[in-house]
Amino acid sequence: MLKTFKSDALAAIHETASDLSEAGLLDKRTLREFDQLCLTPVANLSADEIKEIRLNARVSQSVFAHYLNVSPGVVSQWERGEKHPAGASLKLLVIVRNKGLEAIA
């Protein structure tokens, strides 16, 4: 799973916490708390923002859907505001917005 951290320092702290958890020195609950503190939050995107992400990537809805592993109809529904991405799809959209389509290619 690709994790995006707020900073390099938080990424290093999280790596240490993960290692401590694997060694049995840190419980899963505490590690989840580290996740909440260290990981970049994923906010909901509006229909216009989703369309802008795709247009900035300079791809059709069909090609964009292929990258996100969804149907072209779903991308169309997102861009019209009929449906809203969640979970992995939302995270991928945020990654594409921040780092470009190449980040998930």
13-20 contacts, C-beta under 8 A, 24 or more apart: 13/38, 14/38, 14/39
* pLDDT value of residue 31: 81
The reply to whether 1 falls in a domain is: no
Cα torsion 74, 81, 59, 71 to 10°: value is 0
Do 100 and 53 share a structural domain?
yes
The reply to whether 84 falls in a domain is: yes
DSSP string, 39-96: BPP-----HHHHHHHHHHHT--HHHHHHHHTS-HHHHHHHHHTSS---HHHHHHHHHH
* pLDDT value of residue 93: 95
Write down the pTM of the prediction.
0.66
pLDDT tens-digit profile, the chain (105 residues):
556 677 788 778 878 888 888 888 888 888 888 777 777 677 899 999 999 999 999 999 999 999 999 999 999 999 999 999 998 999 999 999 989 999 998
Do 92 and 51 share a structural domain?
yes
Quote the domain boundaries for residue 25: 8-38
* pLDDT value of residue 36: 76
The reply to whether 30 falls in a domain is: yes
Cα–Cα distance measured from residue 44 to residue 87, given in angstroms and rounded to the nearest whole number: 10
